[in-house]
Amino acid sequence: MTDRTKKKTISRRTLLKGAAGVAGLAAGSGTLLGAPYVHAADAKVLRYLGTAVNEGDEISKKCLADTGIKIEYITATTDDVTKRVITQPNSFDVLDTEYFSLKKLVPSGNIFPLDAKKIKEFDNITPVFTKGELPNGKKIGGQGTAPWKVLYLDGANSKTFSATPTEYITLIPTVYNADTLGIRPDLIKRPISSWAELLNPEFKGKASILNIPSIGIMDAALVVEATGQYKYGDKGNMTRAEIDLTMKVLTEAKKAGQFRAFWKDFNESVNLMASGETVIQSMWSPAVTKVRSMGIPCIFQPLKEGYRSWASGFCVSKAVAGGPKLDWAYEFVNWYLSGWAGAYLNRQGYYSAVLSTAKANMSADEWGYWMEGKPAQADIKAPDGTVLEKAGAVRDGGSYDDRMGAVVCWNAVMDENDYMVRKWNEFIAA
Partner 1 sequence: MTQDTGAADLTSPLAPMTAGGSDQAASGGRLRKAAARSIAWLQAGPMMLVFALFFLLPLVLVIIVSAWDYNEYEMIPAFSLRGYTDTFEGCISGLPELCTILKTYLKTLKLCLLTWGLTLFIGFWVAYFLAFHVRSKTWQIVLSLLCTIPFWTSNVIRMIAWIPLLGRNGLVNQGLIGSGLTTQPIEWLLFSEFSVVLALVHLFTFFMVVPIFNSMIRIDKRLIEAAYDAGASGWQTLVNIVIPLSKPGIVIGSIFVITIVMGDFITVGVMGGQQIASAGKIIESRLSALQFPAAAANAVILLGITILIISALTRIVDVRKEL
* Chain positions contacting partner 1, by CB under 8 A: 79-80, 82-83, 86, 103-105, 107-108, 205, 211, 213, 254, 259-265, 267-268, 271, 275-277, 413, 417-418, 421-422, 424-426, 428-430
Beta carbon of residue 107, minimum distance to partner 1 (angstroms, whole number)? 5
Residue number, 18 or 297, with CB nearest to partner 1: 297
Q: Decide if 427 contacts 251 (C-beta within 8 A).
A: yes
**Residue (21 or 201) nearer to partner 1, CB:** 201
Per-residue CA distances from 214 to 43, 233, 243, 354 (Å):
40, 16, 11, 28
Minimum Å gap between C-beta 322 and partner 1 is: 23
169 CB neighbour count, 10 Å cutoff: 25
Q: How far apart are CA 303 and CA 192, in angstroms?
A: 8
Burial 373-410, CB ≥16 within 10 A → b, else e: bbebeeebebeeeeebbeeeeebbbebbeebbbbbbbb
Q: Which residues does 15 contact at the CB level (< 8 Å), separation at least 6? A: none
Cβ distance to partner 1 smaller for residue 86 or 321: 86
Minimum separation from the CB atom of position 421 to partner 1 (A): 5
State in angstroms the smallest separation of the CB of 238 from partner 1.
15
Task: Give strand ranges (E) for 53-153.
Answer: 70-75, 94-98, 111-112, 114-115, 143-144, 152-153
Cβ nearer to partner 1, comparing 131 with 204 = 204
Give whichever of 32 and 429 is closer to partner 1, judged by the CB atom: 429
Smallest gap, in angstroms, from Cβ of residue 275 to partner 1? 5
Nearer to partner 1, 108 or 377 (CB): 108
Q: Which residues contact 298 (CB under 8 A, 6 or more apart)?
A: 182, 183, 184, 185, 273, 274, 288, 291, 292
CB of 111 to partner 1, least distance (A): 11
- Cβ of residue 97: shortest distance to partner 1, in angstroms? 13
Q: Which long-range contacts (CB under 8 A, 24 or more apart) does 186-195 make?
A: 186/296, 186/297, 187/276, 187/279, 188/279, 188/280, 192/280, 192/301, 192/303, 193/301, 193/303, 193/304, 194/226, 194/303, 194/304, 194/305, 195/219, 195/222, 195/223, 195/225, 195/226, 195/303, 195/305
Q: Specify the residue, 70 or 254, whose C-beta has the smaller distance to partner 1.
A: 254
Residue type at 51? T
For partner 1, the closer of residues 287 and 380 by Cβ is 287
Residue 427 Cβ vs partner 1, minimum distance, rounded to whole Å: 9
